Amino acid sequence: MSHRGVMVFVPAPQLTVTLEQQNDRAELHVHPGGQGVWQARMITLLGAQVTLCAAVGGEVGQVLEPLLEFQGVTLKTIRRGWGTGWYVHDRRGGERTALAEDPGQPLSRHEMDELYSIALAEGLRAGIAVLGGPAHPSVVPAEVYRRLATDLGANGCKVIVDLSGAHLSAALEARPYVVKVSHEELLRDGRATEDTTDSLAGALHGLHDDGAAMALVSRGDAGALALIEDRMYEVDMPRMIATEPRGAGDSMTAGIAAVLAQGGTPCDAVRTGAAAGALNVTRHGLGTGRYDAVQVLTERVRLTPLDTKVPA
């Protein structure tokens, strides 16, 4: 049975300002940003409806809020007095240089209560929920993710988490439907000891044992690994020259959510996610692409079963 759409939990979106060089002129680009925003944009491009639940406030929030209302998204916000995050990056030299940034201020108890209520209602209405993290862990307590994932999952919503650290550990207690992580996050969190197939596959089995029904790890140019219905797969993704390597993992999560929301199988969801991630690195804009291009690349993604030995 297909779902009606996807709720994307974006507790702390950011205003992004980027300087680019176009021939002999500097260009200024102002966009909404943050993990959940990029995921929401890609989900809409892949044909699923998105309800984006976010908190915005202050002068930065006044600029950011109208930018969040892009095509295909229903925006649900709570207003803060201040504290919306932002960053300014300079790409005129070809490389991304951070000039100044602020991940945002922690949400107050009242703000978090209001946002929680909205996200819970919209997640249950949608049937699929994507929970991504803030720019800095201090902005939203890990406990919020445990409670929200638990309440959504217990009432029939399929929860997809793209988190790390304490936030991931908390969400795992809710036994989410999908967990997506990067290999850097598994190494940083101590869930994997080496950047090898055996070590990362063992980490995915560990995530499954801790509560994830389905687990994936992105590995950059090396493709991905996926644990689907107790079987490990190597995900052979199309190789692309990277214009912007950031955001491939977020696009993978978005592709999985979009396919599941439209009634697709877990394997089809992983293929589309891998294709969306591969396409995203060819573009400057995070969470951007073309639906027809993702479709063509999806046909080139292969899932190969692995007989990976996991240490006892």
At residue 77, the pLDDT reads 97
pLDDT band, very low/low/confident/very high, at 256 (cuts 50, 70, 90): very high
Q: Of 135, 212, 205, 203, which is closest to residue 171 (Cα–Cα)?
A: 212
pLDDT band, very low/low/confident/very high, at 8 (cuts 50, 70, 90): very high
Question: Is the confidence at residue 293, as pLDDT, over 90?
Answer: no
pLDDT band, very low/low/confident/very high, at 3 (cuts 50, 70, 90): low
pLDDT band, very low/low/confident/very high, at 310 (cuts 50, 70, 90): very low
Q: What CA dihedral angle connects 235, 283, 297 and 168, to 10 degrees?
A: 30
With a pLDDT cut of 90, the percent of the chain lying above it is 76
Please say whether the beta carbons of 150 and 176 come within 8 A: no
Q: In the chain, count H helices and then E strands.
A: 10, 14
Mean pLDDT score, 184-199: 96
At residue 204, the pLDDT reads 98
Q: Of 152, 150, 98, which is closest to residue 123 (Cα–Cα)?
A: 152
Q: Domain limits of the chain?
A: 5-305
Please say whether the beta carbons of 247 and 287 come within 8 A: yes
pLDDT band, very low/low/confident/very high, at 305 (cuts 50, 70, 90): very high
Q: What is the pTM of this model?
A: 0.90
CATH architecture assigned to 5-305: 3-Layer(aba) Sandwich (3.40)
Range with the lowest mean pLDDT among 163-177, 218-232, 266-280, 288-302? 288-302
Question: Is the confidence at residue 308, as pLDDT, over 50?
Answer: no
Q: How far is CA 159 from CA 2, 232, 241, 264, in A?
A: 15, 21, 32, 15
Question: Is the confidence at residue 4, as pLDDT, over 80?
Answer: no
Rounded to an integer, what distance in angstroms lies between the CA atom of residue 97 and that of residue 279? 23
At residue 241, the pLDDT reads 52
